[in-house]
Structure 1
Amino acid sequence: MPLVTLSDVLQPALKRGHAVAGLVTLGWEDMRAYVAAAEAENVPVILQAGPSCRDHTPLPVLGKMFRYLAEGSSVPVVAHLDHGYTADECREALESGFTSLMFDGSRLPLQQNIDETAAIAEMAHAAGISCEGEIGFVGYADGESSAGTDPDEAAQFARDTKVDAMAISVGNVHLQENKEGGLDEPRIRAIEALTPVPLVIHGGSGVPMAQRQHLARTSKICKYNIGTELRMAFGQALRAAVNSDPSRFDRVQILKDTHDPLVAATRTVLQGFKGDDPC
Structure 2
Amino acid sequence: MTLVTLSDVLQPALKRGYAVAGLVTLGWEDMRAYVAAAEAENVPVILQAGPSCREHTPLPVLGKMFTYLAENVSVPVVAHLDHGYTLQDCKIAIESGFTSVMFDGSQKALAQNIDETAEIAQMAHAAGVSCEGEIGFVGYAGGANSAGTDPDEAAQFAKETGVDAMAISVGNVHLQQDKEGGLDEVRIRAIEAITEVPLVIHGGSGVPVAQREALARGSSICKFNIGTELRMAFGQALKEAAAADPDRFDRVQILKETHDPVVAAARRVLRAFKSV
TM-score range for the pair, normalised by the shorter chain length:
over 0.9
**What is the identity, as a one-letter code, of the residue corresponding to 1:78?**
V
Aligned equivalent of 2:249: 249
Separation of aligned partners in 2, 1:248 and 1:47? 31
TM-score (norm 1): 0.99
Aligned equivalent of 1:218: 218
**What is the identity, as a one-letter code, of the residue corresponding to 1:14?**
L
Aligned equivalent of 1:71: 71
Contact 2:2–2:74, Cα closer than 8 Å, also in 1: no
Aligned equivalent of 1:177: 177
Separation of aligned partners in 2, 1:83 and 1:124? 15
Aligned equivalent of 1:267: 267
Separation of aligned partners in 1, 2:88 and 2:265? 35
Separation of aligned partners in 2, 1:273 and 1:247? 41
Aligned equivalent of 2:45: 45
TM-score (norm 2): 1.00
Q: Percent identity?
A: 82
Aligned equivalent of 1:24: 24
**What is the identity, as a one-letter code, of the residue corresponding to 1:175?**
L
Aligned equivalent of 2:82: 82
Note the C-alpha offset of 1:74: 1.1
- The answer for unaligned runs of 5 or more in structure 1 is none
Q: Where does 1:135-146 land on structure 2 (aligned, <5 Å)?
A: 135-146=135-146
Note the C-alpha offset of 1:2: 3.0
Separation of aligned partners in 1, 2:88 and 2:203? 25
SS of residue in 1 equivalent to 2:137:
coil
Does residue 195 (structure 1) correspond to residue 195 (structure 2)? The answer is yes
Aligned equivalent of 1:122: 122
Aligned equivalent of 1:155: 155
Deviation beyond 3 Å, 4+ runs, structure 1: none
SS of residue in 1 equivalent to 2:101:
strand
SS of residue in 2 equivalent to 1:46:
strand
**What is the identity, as a one-letter code, of the residue corresponding to 1:239?**
K
For each residue in 1:7-40, what CA deviation from the matched residue of structure 2 results, as whole angstroms up to 9, or x when unmatched?
0000000000000000000000000000000000
- The answer for unaligned runs of 5 or more in structure 2 is none
**What is the identity, as a one-letter code, of the residue corresponding to 1:72?**
N
Separation of aligned partners in 2, 1:164 and 1:267? 26
Separation of aligned partners in 2, 1:39 and 1:102? 24
Separation of aligned partners in 2, 1:196 and 1:73? 31
